[in-house]
Structure 1
Amino acid sequence: MKNVKWPLLVYAILAATSIMGIGIAISEKSITGAIGCIVAIIVIMGMGFKTKRKMRENGEI
């Protein structure tokens, strides 16, 4: 557990949850839910990549 990058793990879990949400929204025939989950995945992935870039610049990765 020493080498775990906790912020990146949290972003990965949130992204996976959003992807599951897309599937659930589609099965429930909820267009707004699917669109909301798609927006969420875009935001979460963007924040994850931004965090990874900052960590790389600071020598943490």
Structure 2
Amino acid sequence: MKDVKWPFLIYAILAAACIMGIGVAIAEKSLLGILGCIIAVIVIMGLGFKTKKKMRENGTL
């Protein structure tokens, strides 16, 4: 468990939850829910890539 990069695991779980939320919102026919989840996925994945870049520059990755 030492090699687990916890921030990336958390980002991945959050992104997967938002992707599932898109499916639920489609089933509920909620345009606001669909758009909210899509925006959330984009933000979470962007934060993940930003964190990865910062960790790579610091040499901690």
TM range (shorter): over 0.9
Deviation at 1:57, TM superposition (A): 0.7
> Does 2:29 align with 1:29?
yes
When normalised by structure 1's length, the TM-score is 0.97
**Aligned positions, number:** 61
Identity within the alignment, %: 72
- The 4+ residue runs of structure 1 with deviation greater than 3 A are none
CA RMSD for the aligned pairs? Answer: 0.5
Q: Give 1:55's aligned residue.
A: 55
Measured against aligned partners, the alpha-carbon deviations of 1:12-51 in whole angstroms (never above 9, x if no partner) come to 0000000000000000000000000000000000000000
Q: Which runs of 5+ in 2 are unaligned?
A: none
What secondary structure is seen at the aligned counterpart in 2 of 1:60? coil
